[in-house]
Structure 1
Amino acid sequence: MSQCEKPVLQIIGIMMVFFQKNKKKCIGSLPKKPFFLHHCSLIFFPSSFFLFFLLYDHVIMMAFFLLHHWSDFFS
C-alpha cells in the first residue's frame, strides 16, 4: 500500500465507523419488538445510509480524486 492510499482509507474508515454508530443508535431508540426492528432495518438503515453518503459524498469524491491524481499534483 502506497503512502497516498493510507489517508484515503482512513477517511473512508472513519466515515464507516460514524455510520455504524448511527445504526446502533437506531436500534437502541426503538421498542424491543421484532416488528419495529424489522421496520427500522428496512426503512431507517437504507435512508440513513443514503443520507450519510449524500452528506459525505464530496469527501469521498475528493479522497478518490486525490488518490487517482496524486502523482499529477506532486510530479
Structure 2
Amino acid sequence: METNHQIILLYYREGLSQRKIAKKLHIHRLTVRYRIAEYELFKSSPLSGQDKPSSLLISIYAPVLYTTVRTAQSDA
C-alpha cells in the first residue's frame, strides 16, 4: 500500500516519469504504469469526489425538503 501512495505522489507532485519512479522504488515499470492507470480509474469513478455524494443526496431530498419548508411557511 505504501508503494502505491509513493507512486502517485512521485508521478503527480514531483512530476517524475514512470521509468524514473520504477528505478527509484526498485519496481517494474509496468507496475508503475498499472498503479497510475488504477488511480486514474478511481479518480474518474462517480464516488471519488467528496462533493459528489452530498450533491446526490441533495438532488434526492431537495423536493421533499422544499415541500416541507413550503408547508411550514404556509402554516405559520
TM-score by length of 2: 0.36
The structure where helix makes up a greater share of residues is 1
> Who wins on radius of gyration, i.e. which is larger?
2
- Higher RCO (Cα < 8 Å, 6 or more apart): 1
TM-score by length of 1: 0.36
